[in-house]
């Protein structure tokens, strides 16, 4: 316990000490183990400072092959009652081509001011051919990437279904859960699960809710990331293909130093990892053979009702006839009904009203078909009963519901229409009650010719000229739209601010709910996600150094970069160590930084 107290005391004292170092006392220098090397030789460069510098930005090292780095080292010592503090960043490089190369100064910040090291000049002479070494290095890099990505014991996606054996058209629910023991910085959907043979209805989960489960003696953070209601459309064995996602996780960096700072704060690194869920096989049973003639694929538990707006109208007046299917099952797939209307009725395709909700218990509600019918002649008409059949998977039987018949009394409408009585009981009995013959007109028919014609007019020739131009403009505009839509990275850059605002809204809710850990995760996602999308930085390369370098390249001011990096570091520190800071201030600062970057970033 005493050792821990001493460690914490040393950390606090070092932080206080570093804040009082003046510009005159700071020594920030660059050194190289060798300034003259041959191709294939390895050498080390180091950037060191005698204070706790922040926002370290390494120079461009693309003229050399980076074998290792940045390797951070921090030390602190007491001499004659005086404490000294130093920090260094080192790289192991290999010379790959001949020539004289200049390594530009590194940049860092102390007490809000930027400082630079000296530059280094490296002379490279002719040595061994590094092409063969490059191939070997690529194999080594692949091994390192595999080891970095090997986090399957800390992160996986579990897929499950509510039923593995169903009837054709019977619902089941597929659930995808994310299990993690590490911090997730970002995620991206790579490929949705293919649902060949299924009709699907997504369940809106809102914001992911995290819970904890103990599996195999370990505590896991668990969130449901997707839940789908599925209706199989054919019998046999169907497969739900895997869901594939890409994650960037944050974990402690391996090979850290033994200094107090490394032990207390540690270093973290971002690692990219692709995850796939397991495929699921579903056995789909066919319907029994004794299908009613009126069965049209409805599966579930339903009720069937009908009503008519009126049974007494005048000819040419509209009547609404409604049929409603209510219950639980594959309501979205219930097709329109087959109704034999009297031949004297003018009918239209029904207006379909869907009113149902999707949940883990399936789809429930109603589907209504509203038919508009217009009787054109007077008389008494009968709309025959109709049947609705469905298959109930709980009883494994077909059920049929029959609606009552409707008798419609149609009176003679205004005008000279003949009055016809038409009954459904005897459809061949037609009684003529009025005159329904129009005599042939025998008078003189006058035909007039217009003096002007569109053909051969100036408008005609103008249209001929304009049509190819309009066609070409439409073609160019369409290609521009397709090009913009195919540029996924560009689209993400345009929508960066919108996505950041979503994370900020989530952070605001976490702040109101006093969920400190979730708040810092949302702030981190807002800043990392915005810079990744806006600056088009791949998730695997997303770190503070790359962000600072990219922002400098697009002429963002140093103060804005410093504020961004400082906020990111504060979020990381808040995850691993208690800090005293106002969350509201962090939220306001993040909002200001994003707005400022929107103004300054010009790509």
CA distance 245 to 208: 16
Query: What is the average pLDDT across 571-581?
Result: 63
Tell me the average pLDDT across 262-276: 67
Residue 263 pLDDT > 50, yes or no?
no
Q: Are 227 and 174 in contact (CB under 8 A)?
A: yes
Supply the pLDDT for residue 6.
Answer: 46
At 502 the pLDDT is 85
**Structure tokens given for 170:** 């019977």
The pLDDT assigned to 25 comes to 67
pLDDT confidence bin for 287, thresholds 50/70/90? very high
What number is the average pLDDT over the span 55-66?
A: 84
Comparison of pLDDT for 476 and 258, the residue scoring more: 476
218-222: average pLDDT: 86
Could you tell me which residue, 7 or 592, shows the higher pLDDT? 592
Quote the mean pLDDT of the chain. Answer: 78
Q: How far apart are CA 45 and CA 59, in angstroms?
A: 11
Query: Is residue 166 over pLDDT 90?
Result: yes
Least confident range from 56-60, 96-100, 437-441: namely: 437-441
Taking the whole predicted model, whether its pTM rises above 0.85 is answered as no
CA distance 264 to 253: 13
β 218-232/172-180 pair status: antiparallel
Predicted confidence (pLDDT) per residue in 80-125, tens digit: 445 566 788 888 888 888 899 999 999 888 877 888 899 999 999 8
Distances (CA, A) of 464 to 455, 456, 478, 569: 11, 11, 22, 66
Q: Do the strands 113-116 and 107-110 form a parallel or antiparallel pair, or are they unpaired?
A: antiparallel
43: helix, strand or coil: strand
Taking CA 208 as the corner, what is the angle to CA 174 and CA 597, rounded to the nearest 5 degrees?
A: 130
* pLDDT at position 22 over 60: no
Report how far residue 389's alpha carbon sits from residue 400's, in angstroms, rounded to the nearest whole number.
4
pLDDT for the residue numbered 439: 52
Residue 454 has pLDDT above 80, yes or no: no
CATH numbers and ranges of domains, the chain: 2-149 (2.60.40.10), 155-285 (2.60.40), 295-432 (2.60.40), 489-600 (1.20.120)
Q: What is the pLDDT of residue 139?
A: 43
pLDDT of residue 523: 83
**Residue of 286, 78, 183 whose CA lies nearest to 576:** 183
Residue 4 has pLDDT above 50, yes or no: no
**For 256-293, what is the HEC assignment?**
CCCCHHHHHCCCEEEEEEEEECCCEEEEEECCCCCCCC
Q: Sign of the CA dihedral 178, 181, 187, 189?
A: negative
Least confident residue range of 55-64, 236-245, 495-504: 495-504
- Of the pLDDT bands very low, low, confident and very high (cuts 50, 70, 90), residue 492 is low
What are the distances in angstroms from CA 92 to CA 37, 450, 485, 540, 588?
Answer: 13, 92, 42, 21, 40
pLDDT of residue 491: 60
pLDDT confidence of 172, banded at 50, 70, 90? very high
Confidence of residue 79 (pLDDT cuts 50, 70, 90): very low
β-pair type (312-314, 406-411): parallel
Tokens of 128: 């061994």
Q: Which residues lie below 8 Å from residue 559, measured CB to CB, with a gap of 6+? A: none
Identify the band that residue 576 occupies on the pLDDT scale cut at 50, 70 and 90.
low
Q: Which pLDDT score is estimated for 270?
A: 74
Identify the band that residue 413 occupies on the pLDDT scale cut at 50, 70 and 90.
confident
Mean pLDDT across the stretch 259-277?
A: 65
Angle CA(283)–CA(327)–CA(162) in degrees, nearest 5? Answer: 30
Q: What digits encode the pLDDT tens for the residues 305-330? A: 999 999 999 988 899 999 999 999 99
* Distance from the Cα of residue 301 to its chain's centroid: 35
How far from the centroid of its chain's Cα atoms is residue 152's Cα? Answer: 23
- Mean pLDDT for the stretch of residues 274-293: 90
Q: Identify which has the larger pLDDT, 447 or 207.
A: 207
Residue 148 reports pLDDT greater than 80: no
Joined tokens for residue 294 = 């009126």
- How far apart, in whole angstroms, are the C-alpha atoms of residue 13 and residue 19? 10
CA–CA distances in Å: residue 116 to residues 55, 64, 553, 567: 12, 21, 17, 22
Strand 218-232 with 198-202, pairing: antiparallel
């Amino acid at each position: 316990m005493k050792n821990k107290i001493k460690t914490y005391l040393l950390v606090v004292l070092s932080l206080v000490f570093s804040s009082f170092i003046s510009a005159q006392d700071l020594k920030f220098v660059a050194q190289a183990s060798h300034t003259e090397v041959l191709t294939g030789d390895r050498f080390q460069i180091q950037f060191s400072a005698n204070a706790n510098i922040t926002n370290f930005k390494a120079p461009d090292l693309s003229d050399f092959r980076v074998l290792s780095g940045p390797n951070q080292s921090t030390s602190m010592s007491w001499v004659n009652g005086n404490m000294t503090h130093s920090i260094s960043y080192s790289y192991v490089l290999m010379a790959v081509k001949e020539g004289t190369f200049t390594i530009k100064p590194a940049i860092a910040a102390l007490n809000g001011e930027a400082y630079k090291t000296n530059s280094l000049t490296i002379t490279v002479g002719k040595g061994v051919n590094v092409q063969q070494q490059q191939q070997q290095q690529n194999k080594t890099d692949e091994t390192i990437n595999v080891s970095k990505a090997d986090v399957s014991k800390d992160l996986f996606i579990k897929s499950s279904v509510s039923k593995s054996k169903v009837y054709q058209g019977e619902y089941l629910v597929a659930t995808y859960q994310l299990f993690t023991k590490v911090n997730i910085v970002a995620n991206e959907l790579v490929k949705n699960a293919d649902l060949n043979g299924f009709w699907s209805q997504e369940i809106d989960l809102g914001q992911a809710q995290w819970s904890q489960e103990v599996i195999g003696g370990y505590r896991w953070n668990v969130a449901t990331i997707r839940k789908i209601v599925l209706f199989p459309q054919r019998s046999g064995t169907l497969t739900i293909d895997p869901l594939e996602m890409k994650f960037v996780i944050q974990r402690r960096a391996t090979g850290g130093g033994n200094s107090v700072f490394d032990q207390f704060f540690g270093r973290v690194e971002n690692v990219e990892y692709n995850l796939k869920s397991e495929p699921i096989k579903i056995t789909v049973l066919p319907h029994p053979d004794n299908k009613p003639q009126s069965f049209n694929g409805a599966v579930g538990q339903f009720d069937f009702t009908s009503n008519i707006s009126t049974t007494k109208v005048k000819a040419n007046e509209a009547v609404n006839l409604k049929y409603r299917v209510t219950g639980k099952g594959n309501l979205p797939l219930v097709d329109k009904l087959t109704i034999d209307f009297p031949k004297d009725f003018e009918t239209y395709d029904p207006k379909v009203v869907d009113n149902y909700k999707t949940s883990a218990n399936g789809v429930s509600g109603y589907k209504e078909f509203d038919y508009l019918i217009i009787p054109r002649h007077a008389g008494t008409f009968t709309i025959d009963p109709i049947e609705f059949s469905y298959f109930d998977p709980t009883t494994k039987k077909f059920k049929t519901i029959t609606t009552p018949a409707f008798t419609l009394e149609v009176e003679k409408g205004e005008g000279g229409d003949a009055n016809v009585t038409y009954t459904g009981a005897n459809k061949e009995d037609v009684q003529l009650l009025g005159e329904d013959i129009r005599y042939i007109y025998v008078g003189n028919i006058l035909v007039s010719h217009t003096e002007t014609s569109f053909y051969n007019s100036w408008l005609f020739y103008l249209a001929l000229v304009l049509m190819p131009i309009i066609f070409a403009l439409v073609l160019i505009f369409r290609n521009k739209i397709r090009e913009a839509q195919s540029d996924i990275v560009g689209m993400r850059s345009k929508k960066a601010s919108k996505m950041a605002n979503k994370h900020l809204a989530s952070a605001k809710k976490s702040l109101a709910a006093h969920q400190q850990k979730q708040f810092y995760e949302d702030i981190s996602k807002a800043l990392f996600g915005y810079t990744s999308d806006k600056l088009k930085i791949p998730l695997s390369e997303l770190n503070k150094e790359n962000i600072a370098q990219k922002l400098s390249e697009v002429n963002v001011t140093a103060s804005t970069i410093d504020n961004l990096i400082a906020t990111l570091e504060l979020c990381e520190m808040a995850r691993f160590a208690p800090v005293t800071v106002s969350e509201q201030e962090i939220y306001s600062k993040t909002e200001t930084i994003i707005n400022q970057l929107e103004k300054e970033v010009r790509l």
